[in-house]
Every structure is written in C-alpha cells, then in structure tokens.
Amino acid sequence: MSRRASTPLDGIELVLTDLDGVVYQGPGAIPHAVDALNAARAERRVGYVTNNASRTAASVAGHLGDLGLEVAEEDVVTSPQAAIVLLQQHAPAGSTILVVGGEGLTSVVEAAGFTVTRSADDAPAAVIQGFAPEVGWQQLAEAAFALRAPEGEDGIPWVATNTDWTIPVARGIAPGNGTLVSAVHTAVGRLPVVAGKPEKAIFDAALQRFAVADAASALFLGDRLDTDIIGANRAGLRSAIVLTGIDRAKQLLPADADSRPHFILGDLRELDQPYPEQIVKTGLRGVRKHRSGDAEVVVDGSQVRLSKPGSAVDVVRAGTAAVWGTGTPIYALDVDPALYA
C-alpha cells in the first residue's frame, strides 16, 4: 500500500496567517483564501497576525468577517499589541507616551494605562510609532524632537510596531511604516526596538495568545520573505510562502538560508493538498536533477535550466531547490529565465 503524501497541515495545531497579500488585497479577499482558512479552522485554531498598525483588532476581525471568515476579535494579533509588551518593559506604568500613528495604535496604548500625547513638549517617557495613512511630517517631527538626546545621553525609549518598507493596497504597492521610521532615524541617528515581523515579539505574542507551547506545531502563512518567512523561521515556526502577494520566484530563487520557507504554495487551496515530494537525482559528472510534480530543473556546473515544464508553482519549487542546493550565490550561476516566469 502506498503511503499518503503529507500536506502542509499535517502535525499542525495552530495556523497563523499574515493578511495583506495572503487573505486579502485591499478590501477584497484573495481567491480561495476564505474557504481554505475556514476549512482549516474546522480542525485546528487559526489566528491572524498583522504588522499593519492603522486598525484595531476589532476592525480587522470585522473586515475578515465581512469577507466570510469565521473569526473573533481575540483571533487577531496586531503589531501594536506586541509593541505594548515592549513598551511596558521600557517605560514606567501610566507614563505619557508620544504616539505616531492612528487609532489602531492609540487605542492599545490607552488600554494599557498610558497617557497619549502628540507633542514632544509634554515630556513623554517614550515614543511609539506605527503606520497610519494620516501620518505626516508634523508627527514625524514631534517624534524626532522627543527622541533627540542631549550629548552623552541615550534619550528616551523608541518602540516601532514594524518596519515593513511597503504595504500592498488596492491600487498597488505603497510606502510602509519602515519608510516613516527611516525618516525619524535619519533625523535622530537612532534605531527603535521593533515589535512586528520579522522580530520575534509578535510571534511570541501569538503563540502565547493561543496557548501553544511548541512553536514547531504552528504554521505561519506569509507572502514576504523579509518579514513573514524569516520571522517565522527565527521564532521556530513552520513557514509557508503563498505566491499571491509581494514575493514571487524572483525573490525566492536567491533567498538566503534564514529566509527559505518550508513550503511554497500557489494559493491557499494547497494547504490541505498533498505536497509533492522534492526528488533529487545525481547523474554523470555530478549533474543533478531536481523534480517537483511534473517540473524538472537540471543543475550542470553553473548552469541551472528548466528541463521539463510543470505547473507554475512546481517550477518555482524545483527551481528553488536546485539553486539552493548548489550552495552558490545566485549571481555566480547561469539561471534559465524560464524559472523566473
């Protein structure tokens, strides 16, 4: 009797997923995401993790519910929630905090017992910064004024919810919180403590929220290597990149060891489908053949070429396995352009 091929959900008790680029793009759901996540929820916990600090957990849950997902407010973990844990470690309880951001951040700061200010003249004990569409020069300037320390002193603590360089919206890719943090950094010559992906704090907060002791029994779904995948890997979670958002073959092929996912999915339908075995065969002169499904990629010296076509996602799986298996930086290889398609 043949053994059933495993799926990405085998052995998983908690599924955590990013939102932008995985569940939705702008206001609308990504095809197949809602049905796949509701099906996963029938047998395990499902949590939603977002670096976006512009909305409250309640508003995020409401949006997800409108899309058809079965979700409660406590199923949503936001970067402001993780940032508050860091803020409580660095600022006195009940102190005044200068907030750069919108309601998604101010509501969490106030709920933790801090007093919110928008002015450096109020002598804040710390600065906390997160993304909101209305953030502009005035808020960034106030943060810089508050963070500027007298010579020889360290200055007050600075916590950032996240440092994503970009954020996907309905009309395309827009600057994210990382660009705003960088503007303040340029002015003050300091870097913040960061709560959101790829830092460990937000993953630890999610595992604690859902009472999961073994990080390896959780699977994180993301669309970006530099935040989702590297962060999940650092935190000890299983990781899967979904090719419905920011990163595609062009980013996956040269990925370093720390940012390589355990699974590559075309879309979330593949969560509970058998994951194809990644087969490697070595022939004469050390020529290696990497096979995923019907796709086959051959490595002959520095040449990496697609020898047999297959589905788009299997081409990416075979291509990444081939490139990563060389142990050679991609700029030193001659890679078939068909692997980037």
3-state secondary structure of 240: strand
Return the exposure string of 69-82: e unless at least 16 CB atoms fall within 10 Å of the residue's CB, then b: bebeeebbbbbbbb
Residue 193 near residue 148 (C-beta atoms within 8 A): no
3-state secondary structure of 116: strand
3-state secondary structure of 89: helix
Write 215-219 long-range contacts (CB < 8 A, 24+).
217/11, 217/12, 217/13, 217/14, 218/12, 218/13, 218/14, 218/15, 218/16, 219/8, 219/9, 219/12, 219/14, 219/15, 219/16
Give the other-Cβ count within 10 Å of 129's Cβ: 28
Which H, E and C letters describe 175-209, residue by residue?
ECHHHHHHHHHHHHCCCCEECCCCCHHHHHHHHHH
Q: Would you please indicate which residues are annotated as catalytic (active-site) residues?
A: 18, 20
Burial of 283 (0-12, 13-18, 19+ CB in 10 A): exposed
